Structure 1
């Protein structure tokens, strides 16, 4: 059987620190194994074909619903994270299939309008809101009409732990995705900010650029090389490279992520999310039929949160306009 051959190949070629698909802690619901795919390959395919993954193409990365064709969306960010993470895992002889599955699923729970939407739901929703935890809700309770994707423990753990607000993932593959997410978003956000005229290349902090490189490609290569060289039983990079990366990250938070020009529309976006959330709390019957099943299992507020969090930028704007902007008489 092809799957069994692939599992034996993992044992023979992967690092002792890698996660073997044959040793997975499994799924909540036991299912018959695939003849030609490992468990982590199946998870990757499940994520790739789900509705939430497709919606990422219309969700904000940094710049709200950018008009230019070359700005990142949450989908292109996800693909870049996946590619960086797979490169690192391959070099370290970790399980590339597990790494890819985690990377493709890590942002499935992100709100419309990026972190601006996340901030609002965190303020409004009982118990708060974190997009990494919502991503696990998506694959467990929302996708497949509430049946979930029934992913393996290792994939869900990596998705949940990809952000800084939780402990490290239990697998090195999950930790690779966590550091790859940081490498990807800092460097592609720099490129988008320069394209948007928010930054000039000469604005970047010299101390960081001197260590990491002047171009996006040079910086990513430097960090990947450092991770591959310094990682063994954990995922890490050289101190000077990490310091340079942190300096670049601090610069971006000060000059782009909190920049009044780059984030000038965030307040409007936050108002839309707030209005939609509060509207559906008082008009629960207007939720799509599926979310009434969520109400039965998890309560009204969770169903409203799930619905709003799953919206794309454009859908949220159009819904808001339909509710509150009068249509002009055309006859």
Structure 2
């Protein structure tokens, strides 16, 4: 039984292009299925999470990360009596707009796109699902419900111009502003509780799997992370229960307990916040003026300590930084090459290039679309073919 503030597919706010409803699937199920079948979703298999995709078979990619986020999100959503199908759709789509090479690629592309409106991966996800996926005869994009689009656009909170006082954010990301002008996603409000679950599930998943991947890469040791909050007690419990287990099983058992503690904290804290909100509808959640899906204060402080450790020992590790420099050069070389020589873009882009005409901003955004859609290996291969090895 769903809670009264859960999103109800029978009351969903529809699709931009009206469609006949499915006999067997709810509108949110159809959204989820369209996302899974999208070309952009398949390409996540070969896109960096932290380590460049080809560096090892066991490291997370954007695809495995998205699947893990969806699993966590379904668990939390079910415990809070929310709509798990909408939650899963938003979770699976949340990283569709990522460039090759993770945040490194995004930073490089954002800098290159500054004269043309910048680049933002969340906004790019909206551009993908509303425009760039071109498989359906009746519309561009996936024609997702308003509810799912809203969740993709603002699962991290309201999106407004000038956020944080940064001059670079004086305007909305162009990809988001462009779509919002024709289909109002009410960017000034919080998203549904389901989308908020997807956002925190992202935090839970990447903090845990980055610890796994960092250990596998030898960037830090189990002894070092055992000094961190949450992780030390988890290791102590495993040692008490399984004193003779091998190192690999010990690591897995400890980190899965950390995972479980984080999930339990979100469920308990958010359940109390939802009850205290007195919300009786999804719209009540949107207009509360604050998120209702959240960690406890103590848990948030512990997670910040883990994040700080990962930032210093993993995201800024010398080996990772060297690779960042290499892949930044790939993006920095490819963007101006395609901008000055659009004929190098694939043949099926020719019509869109012709439509751009002499409008350099439109052409730059098309080049950004093309580069953002690349996988790690394709970007490296194109750079080697067109320019030379990175």
**Matched-pair contact (CA < 8 Å) for 1:213–1:222:** no
Structure 1 equivalent of residue 210 of structure 2: 189
Deviation at 1:18, TM superposition (A): 0.7
Return the TM-score normalized by structure 2.
0.76
Instruction: Give per-residue Cα distances to partners, 1:48-83, cap 9 Å, x unaligned.
Output: 011111110000110112443211111000100000
Residue 122 of structure 2 is aligned with which of 119, 127, 132?
A: 132
Structure 2 equivalent of residue 248 of structure 1: 306
Deviation at 1:294, TM superposition (A): 4.1
Give the 3-state SS of the residue equivalent to 1:265 in structure 2. helix
Q: 1:171 and 2:192 equivalent? A: yes
Give the 3-state SS of the residue equivalent to 1:269 in structure 2. helix
Deviation at 1:37, TM superposition (A): 0.6
Structure 2 equivalent of residue 8 of structure 1: none
**Matched-pair contact (CA < 8 Å) for 1:212–1:244:** no
In the alignment, structure 1 segments of 5+ residues that lack a partner are 1-12, 327-331
Residue 150 of structure 1 is aligned with which of 137, 143, 148?
A: 143
Residue 272 of structure 1 is aligned with which of 303, 325, 330?
A: 330
How do residues 204-215 of structure 1 correspond to structure 2 at under 5 angstroms? 204=225, 206-209=227-230, 213-214=234-235, 215=254
Deviation at 1:95, TM superposition (A): 0.4
Deviation at 1:148, TM superposition (A): 0.5
Q: 1:50 and 2:38 equivalent? A: yes
Distance in 2 separating the partners of 1:321 and 1:210: 42
Instruction: Give per-residue Cα distances to partners, 1:159-193, cap 9 Å, x unaligned.
Output: 12244794774200100010110111111011001
Give the 3-state SS of the residue equivalent to 1:94 in structure 2. coil
Between Structure 1 and Structure 2, how many residues are aligned? 314
Residue 73 of structure 1 is aligned with which of 56, 61, 64?
A: 61
Structure 1 equivalent of residue 270 of structure 2: 231
Residue 24 of structure 2 is aligned with which of 33, 36, 47?
A: 36
Deviation at 1:92, TM superposition (A): 0.7
**Matched-pair contact (CA < 8 Å) for 1:82–1:104:** yes
**Matched-pair contact (CA < 8 Å) for 1:18–1:173:** yes
Instruction: Give per-residue Cα distances to partners, 1:4-42, cap 9 Å, x unaligned.
Output: xxxxxxxxx101121111111111111111111110000
Instruction: Give per-residue Cα distances to partners, 1:194-216, cap 9 Å, x unaligned.
Output: 00001112222635236873422
**Matched-pair contact (CA < 8 Å) for 1:57–1:75:** yes
Distance in 1 separating the partners of 2:210 and 2:5: 32
Structure 2 equivalent of residue 9 of structure 1: none
Distance in 2 separating the partners of 1:273 and 1:165: 30
Return the TM-score normalized by structure 1.
0.90
Deviation at 1:227, TM superposition (A): 1.1
Distance in 1 separating the partners of 2:299 and 2:27: 35
Give the RMSD, CA atoms, in angstroms. Answer: 2.0
More displaced, 87-96 or 206-215?
206-215
Structure 1 equivalent of residue 362 of structure 2: 299
**Matched-pair contact (CA < 8 Å) for 1:212–1:222:** no
Structure 2 equivalent of residue 322 of structure 1: 385
**Matched-pair contact (CA < 8 Å) for 2:44–2:63:** yes
